[in-house]
Amino acid sequence: MNATQIETFFATLQAANPHPQTELHYASVFELLAAVLLSAQATDVGVNKATRGLFAVANTPQKIIALGLEGLEAQIKTIGLFRSKARHLLQTCEILVAQHGGVVPRTREALEALPGVGRKTANVVLNVAFGEPTMAVDTHLFRLGNRTGLAPGKTPLAVELKLLKRIPKKYLVDAHHWLILHGRYVCQARTPQCGQCAVAGVCGFKGKTGLPPKP
């Protein structure tokens, strides 16, 4: 994809959805952090179902700690890997209280120091909660970066850095949401909906023409 095609790609996505939002439900920065931490290898729908009950009884680090490990596990047991996620979330809450006054920190270094919080989770919090122009490369962004020719790369970090470099600044804050939603509902892994894709004209994917698809 060249610069003109990238501009058209994001201008088109912006026109269709001017104010994209995460599909995770949250009412505070802490709830967002908790939801993203729980979302690894789980759907947003499944996470929202679990956090609806969890946040009703424990929506702060202090309340999660009071709930205890067994109580937390019981609240999120419908989510995959719930035991390890409960342990990480509880440890994260303890660190937030002990080191940050119960407030979610705004720096990447501090976020990535929290148990269960890697670069992708930190990027989501920095972008969604604090408006930073970060790029959380999940399976959807990794696939789109390579399939469309927007930001080919062999690792999530390579795709992330290339996306940050190639996407025009005016689109960066919202680009993460547009790409996730596009990958989730249109440019799907097994059956990309090329016939319904608004940006097919500038996409580098050749599968729709009968040529070998890009990775």
According to DSSP, residue 143 is labeled H
Same domain? For 15 and 71 the reply is no
Residue 199 to residue 179: CA distance in whole angstroms: 12
120 is catalytic: yes
pLDDT for res 40: 85
What are the structure tokens assigned to 148, written together? 């469309």
Catalytic residue among 63, 77, 138, 162: 138
Same domain? For 95 and 156 the reply is no
Asked if 181 contacts 17 with a C-beta cutoff of 8 angstroms, the reply is yes
Q: What is the 3-state secondary structure (H, E, C) of 77-109?
A: CCCCCHHHHHHHHHHHHHHHHHHHCCCCCCCHH
* Chain mean pLDDT for the chain: 92
Residue 56 buriedness (CB in 10 A; 0-12 / 13-18 / 19+): exposed
Confidence band (pLDDT; 50, 70, 90) for 215?
A: very low
Domain assignment present for residue 105? The answer is: yes
Q: What is the pLDDT of residues 30-55, one digit of tens each?
A: 999 999 999 988 899 999 999 999 99
Same domain? For 35 and 114 the reply is yes
138 is catalytic: yes
Q: Can you tell me the mean pLDDT for 183-200?
A: 92
Same domain? For 42 and 104 the reply is yes
Which residues constitute the domain of residue 102? Answer: 29-128
Among 128, 150, 166, the domain-final residue is: 128
Same domain? For 112 and 38 the reply is yes
Catalytic residue among 120, 154, 165, 169: 120
Which domain CATH number covers 154? 1.10.1670.10
